[in-house]
Amino acid sequence: MSAAPAVAQSQDVVPVPEAAPVPAPAVAPVPAPVAAYNPPVPQMPSPSASLYVGELDPTVTEAMLFEIFNMIGPVASIRVCRDAVTRRSLGYAYVNYLNANDGERALEQLNYSLIKGRACRIMWSQRDPALRKTGQGNIFIKNLDEAIDNKALHDTFAAFGNVLSCKVATDEHGHSKGYGFVHYETAEAADTAIKAVNGMLLNDKKVYVGHHISKKERQSKLDEIRAHFTNIYVKNLDPEVTQEEFTQLFEQFGLVTSAVVSVDDEGKSKGFGFVNFENHEEAQQAVDALHDSDYKGRKLFVSRAQKKAEREEELRRSYEQAKMEKMSKYQGVNLYIKNLDDEIDDERLRAEFEPFGSITSAKVMRDDKGTSKGFGFVCFSSPDEATKAVAEMNNKMIGAKPLYVSLAQRREVRRQQLESQIAQRNQIRMQQAAAAGMPGYMNGPMYYPAGPGFPPQGGRGMMGYGPGMPPMRPRYAPNGQVAGMPMPPGPYGQGPPQPYGMGGGYTRGGAPRPPP
């Protein structure tokens, strides 16, 4: 329903003609207000301007990183991540810029650059662990040439998409292990790289490229493969066993697809070989029947064939387990004694500690020449006896020296305790320095540049205090006075005190010495 007009035509109303437009009065221009001075407010770094810097040398500090990254643009803060107890560097840091453009330039210009002889690896910081651990877009490359480093790998795979991170695995000496990882921004780029590079030659070596599989998934697959093995390993063979006899020994358990006795360059048997069956049940039956059995006067060792890395890992795990069992066995019963006289031997050490309980072993440590090192160990049969011996024998005079007796500890535990004590002492010193009004050290592990300007006007050496940078020492004038500070007056209005050897004293004859 249409709205009714404001004035109906049926009513006897004379329409009023429109009035002519009245020109607006001239208004004098208002002068623009004077802009008030607002002091510069320090900008906060945007969430997307944070960079992760990895593969760092343990000696790299926040100040070193500031000098490098501040050349790109203003740095808001830098933090080198450290162990909570030992304060050792964990090998990575976070650099926060005031704007994201500087972060992008730093990523382009400084990625894989050398910092104290090691190529750093820079990527955008991803705080959400769920996004980091999804594995989407992450690929695995193996059979790499030793000459290929992080930068070469990055340049090779950057043609297929935006690379977030790239790394070649290295050993403790920095040598390549022959495999690496490339993390793309999208899964499509990862698929394209796999199709293009898998099976290709890089530095005359055929590489394998595939999707990255997490360690947990790989372990479950390996466990499944191990449970259904068909290849077995046989050792302790008689050197006279021929290839035909070796094959006939295992054919009684099923169809053998391959059997080989390892020989040297001269064709002589090395005493071990491998046998592969068609199915797992036959291989398992051969292991159960022939392991620890006698064959031609020798006891055979027959088990599932393992790769070298798997055997080393298994041996390492068993060694660590035996080590922990030994530690738990002697925990609280083994004593460490030092400050021993050179004349004290094992029998004398045992005789001194026998009144406190049953001793299972007593040993004085000696060097290659048989000279005592001044310390030894005594092991008791129960913790109560060991505790009583510590209470009675610690600081007791044996010969000309007081003994130091305590519970024996592993070297790693002692080192950790010493590092913890040193860290506590350093913290106490820093607190005392802060209470005395000394600047620096109490601002946390972050490194902030001094002042609102970047870099500071004073140049290098004027970046302010931060972790790893000692406070400035006062400069002294030749008369021992702190530069820029007046000397305090001496007692009874005698003027400022003079340092030793300066003027104001007396000569040997008693005459006053004039000041210099």
Distance CA 437, CA 20 (A): 80
| Residue 258 and residue 389 in one domain | no
Relative to beta strand 118-119, strand 89-97 is: unpaired
Residues 6+ apart with CB under 8 A from 462: 450, 456
Q: And the tokens for 147?
A: 């000459």
DSSP annotation of 435: H
Cα gap 316→45, rounded to integer Å: 47
pLDDT (0 to 100) of residue 132 = 62
Are 99 and 204 members of one domain?
Answer: yes
Q: In terms of domains, do 190 and 165 share one?
A: yes
CA–CA separation, 392 and 140 (whole Å): 62
Give the integer Cα–Cα distance in Å for 163 and 327.
Answer: 47
Number of domains in the chain: 3
CATH of residue 279's domain is: 3.30.70.330
Whether pTM exceeds 0.75: no
The Cα-based distances of 222 to 217, 269, 287, 307 in angstroms read 9, 31, 20, 12
Full domain range(s) for residue 289 = 225-305
pLDDT score of 483: 47
Show the tokens assigned to 294.
């006698």
Query: 94-103, 271-280, 483-492 — which is least confidently predicted?
Result: 483-492
Note whether residue 213 is domain-resident.
yes
Clarify whether residues 73 and 151 are in a common domain.
Answer: yes
Count the residues in the chain. Answer: 516
Give the model's pLDDT for residue 469: 46
d(CA 231, CA 292): 18
35 confidence band (pLDDT: 50, 70, 90): very low
Condensed to tens digits (0 to 9), the pLDDT of residues 441-486 reads 444 445 555 544 444 444 333 344 444 444 444 444 444 444 444 4
Q: Is the pLDDT of residue 499 over 50?
A: no
Tens digit of each residue's pLDDT (9 = 90 or more) over 106-165: 998 998 888 988 889 898 887 766 666 666 789 999 999 988 988 889 889 988 988 888
More confident residue, 329 or 312: 312
Measuring CA to CA, which residue among 210, 167, 208 is closest to residue 190? Answer: 210
467 in a domain, yes or no?
no
Q: Which amino acid is at 472?
A: M
User: Is 225's pLDDT higher than 80?
Assistant: no
When the pLDDT of each residue in the chain is averaged and rounded to a whole number, the result is: 77
For the chain, the 3-state helix, strand and coil shares in percent, each to the nearest 5, are 30, 25, 45
